[in-house]
Amino acid sequence: MIEEENLIDEIDRNSDFRAHHFIVRCLQDNRVPFLCGTIIGTISLIITMTMCIRHSMALDRRPICMLRTYYHGMLIYPMVWAVCCWVSLFCPLTTNLSELFMGQSEAYAIYIFLVILYMLVSIEACKKRMETGGAGESLRTEMMNMGQTVMEAIHEYGPQKYFAVPPFGCCFWRCCTPHHITAKQLLWVSRLVKQYVLLELFLNTFFMWCGLTFLPVRAKKMQSVAGYILKASGMLAIYGLFVMYKATHDLLHDWNTTRKFVAIKLVILLSVIQNKLFGLFIRKFRPPDESCLLEPNNPKDLEHVIAWWTTFATLVETVLLSHLIIKAFPAHEVSDYPLKNLDLVEMELRQIHESESTKGGSLSMETSSSDGDYDSEKDG
């Protein structure tokens, strides 16, 4: 039996990092650091799940509406990150799978945030229209023309440099001129966010497929290329959110949109920075002793060491993430407001864009025909 296990270990290059074998090795070689890390991580998981479940119960006590559904959806983000990081502490081989789920939950949270922004804009736009419209305006009428109502509410704050925002727009701030944002531009903002959701799903799945199909060297190269594409896609999504944030900041001042935006991106930024910092400090200051996180055949490879400690730090940070999301999306904000789904608002924005294009075309035709009549009269 022992000979069979030794033979399996020789064939399986990852046998040292399978869950059972890995835990046994860590309890033998690095008992104190491993127990401290896993115990603190487990406590962080329990705190995160408890906070999210309690907030979910508080949301359940609010009226049933679309806004409550999407506020519930934001809680998926910290819960998925906490569970995935906790599993990776005991089985490092699940790190790639955990990153797949974590990336998808992040993309989902960004998309949900865009949906919530449109909902809040709809609420405030209807309020403003009702205040200025007087008795002749009905709530039902405003709901039937939500796209136009949203555009008018945003335009009330005057022309602005909507596209001179981070992370790209700051470079051409001087070149931008203040203008009123159009329906077409709002539609492109939605597309910038949606493309990241789709690419996050397909490219992370592609990472997994490369790792299982190709040789390690080739798989690493393909994953590196796809990783750069995904980072660029994520930056475009953040740029789209910044444009939407700029367009709705004054209108949604009472909804604390800054806090909502920070709650989504702060921990992601921390995880990116700490990955670089852990890599730098571990490679420079780590003592050359035996560790269950090192490959026996390649002790100079510190990839598993860096990944394990980064995962541990991220798991602890999910407590902060859940706290920020609970404070940014509180239960008391949820009420049965008159709302429309994002798809319906986008459909109305498309109709506005098409009508504006049609009016522009007809106006130019009328102008050209009148000029022609004038020229003919002059020649006569």
pLDDT tens for residues 225-263? 877 888 888 888 888 888 888 888 888 888 888 888 888
**Under 8 Å between Cβ of 91 and 311:** no
In a domain, 363, yes or no: no
Report the alpha-carbon distance of residue 80 to residue 133 in Å, rounded: 45
Mean pLDDT value across residues 322-348:
83
- Total domains, the chain: 1
For residue 299, say if its preceding peptide bond is cis, omega within 30 degrees of 0: no
In a domain, 349, yes or no: yes
Q: Which residue has the tokens 């910044």?
A: 242
Six token digits for residue 221: 């190269």
**Under 8 Å between Cβ of 136 and 160:** no
In a domain, 360, yes or no: no
In order of 114, 225, 344, 349, the CA distances from 147 in angstroms are 16, 39, 9, 5
> Can you give the pLDDT at residue 296?
65
Least confident of 9-13, 71-75, 125-129, 234-238: 9-13
In a domain, 346, yes or no: yes
Its domain, for residue 297, covers 12-355
Could you tell me the pTM of the whole model? 0.81
Six token digits for residue 339: 């709302």
For residue 59, pLDDT over 90 is answered with yes
Six token digits for residue 218: 């080739």
Mean pLDDT value across residues 319-348:
84
Amino acid at 255: W
In a domain, 376, yes or no: no
Six token digits for residue 379: 């020649």
Higher pLDDT, 79 or 358: 79
Mean pLDDT of the chain: 80
Least confident of 72-81, 164-173, 185-194: 164-173
In terms of Cα–Cα distance, which of 268, 205, 274, 276 is closest to 237?
268
In a domain, 371, yes or no: no
Report the alpha-carbon distance of residue 346 to residue 348 in Å, rounded: 5
